[in-house]
Amino acid sequence: MKKYDIAAFVWPSYTGDEPRTRIFWPEGYGEWQTVKVMTDRGYKGCRWPRIPTWGYVNEADSRVMEMQIDCAVEHGVNVFIYDWYWYDNRPFLENCLNDGFLKARNNTKMKFCLMWANHNATHLWDKRNSDNDLDTVIWSGVVTPQIFSEICDRTIEKYFKKENYYCIDGCPVYMIFDIDNFIRSFGTSDECKKGLEEFRRKVVAAGFSGLHFQVVHWRNRVFNWLKDEDSQKGVVSAEMYDYLGVDSVTNYSWGGITDFDGDFNDIAESYAQAYKDAADSINIPYYPNISVGWDNNVRFKNFVPGVVENNTPGNFKTACEKIKALTDSAIENGKINAPFITVNSWNEWTETSYLQPDDLYGYGYLEAIKEVFTGD
């Protein structure tokens, strides 16, 4: 049986240990506040309420994470990708990683890496305001070149140097969620390229073989928003990746490249085809994604279109088999050089896309991962 790196995204909001979370979730235990009040609202595909089997636990508690690490590894999930934030000139929501995962006594059982979730923070996280105001930017995901340089130094020292930081070919993997905001942080793609090259120099100077800079790929876009003097104005995604020197791409969820609405089986087929089409047009490795589902209505009072239906553990297992086949083919054809598969997600309860057990399907999704990717 081949070994796969099953890397599940972790949304680090299920804690009250970060004081600034209270502007979104004032009750003081993070976004569990939103999960607890979701009920069956009668729309097609709604399967709420859902109760976490483990309870509304504090995921910044190392004892909680010791239990979760054991469960993840037992079921074939051997990498956690932590959503990482920098807002208002300082990190945000680091507690789950720093105090939970990294202080867990068994954390070396699995690897971890970072995805800088450099999107803007809006009222999406605040159910009191999400229906009426998603335009107001509370915190911008754009930084300055100097701040990015400081982020690089801090990331190398605090995370890359951990023995269980995930690497591909000896290079620590660092993922960017929003390529547009990343470029905006430098003003132009030309300056962005310089900033990324500086990051690479710092990583090599720290003793690594290099940096594996990964980008979340969305539907192909044309960078028409760039300034007229920008040398890459008007290029498409694949050309921008080549210009910046991006090492690989993946998806955060299937919704990045296909319509995430309707029957799960149909969406799985659509993603597989969209993935193959995009992989043929992108010149760098494109690592596949598995998504558990999607229903973001947990964060809203009024109905928001875009609900994945029929995502039972059985159908999820079939989708896992499909993604496994895509991965094997990509490896055999030399299109990717690591058995790296991203999963949305470990705990995105408010997007209804999580592997963690609940009162609806129990450990069904985790068992599917285990059966497909470990053969157990």
pLDDT exceeds cutoff 90 at 320: yes
48: CATH: 3.20.20.80
Category of 321 on φ-ψ map: left (φ > 0), alpha (ψ -120 to 50) or beta: alpha
* pLDDT tens column, 30-67: 999 999 999 999 999 999 999 999 999 999 999 999 99
Q: What is the mean pLDDT of the chain?
A: 97
- Cβ atoms of residues 215 and 179 within 8 Å: yes
Q: Which domain holds residue 159?
A: 5-373
Domains in the chain: how many in total?
Answer: 1
* pLDDT tens column, 281-316: 999 999 999 999 999 999 999 999 999 999 999 999
Among the residues of the chain, which ranges form H helices? Answer: 32-36, 62-74, 95, 145-155, 179-184, 189-205, 237-244, 264-281, 313-332, 364-373
Rounded to an integer, what distance in angstroms lies between the CA atom of residue 280 and that of residue 180? 22
**Phi, psi for residue 131 in degrees, rounded to 5:** -70, -30
Q: What confidence score (pLDDT) does residue 376 get?
A: 77
Mean pLDDT calculated for residue range 126-145:
97
* pLDDT tens column, 226-274: 999 999 999 999 999 999 999 999 999 999 999 999 999 999 999 999 9
pLDDT exceeds cutoff 70 at 1: no
Q: What confidence score (pLDDT) does residue 375 get?
A: 86
Predicted model pTM: 0.98
pLDDT exceeds cutoff 80 at 176: yes
Q: What is the DSSP letter of 337?
A: S
Confidence of residue 2 (pLDDT cuts 50, 70, 90): confident
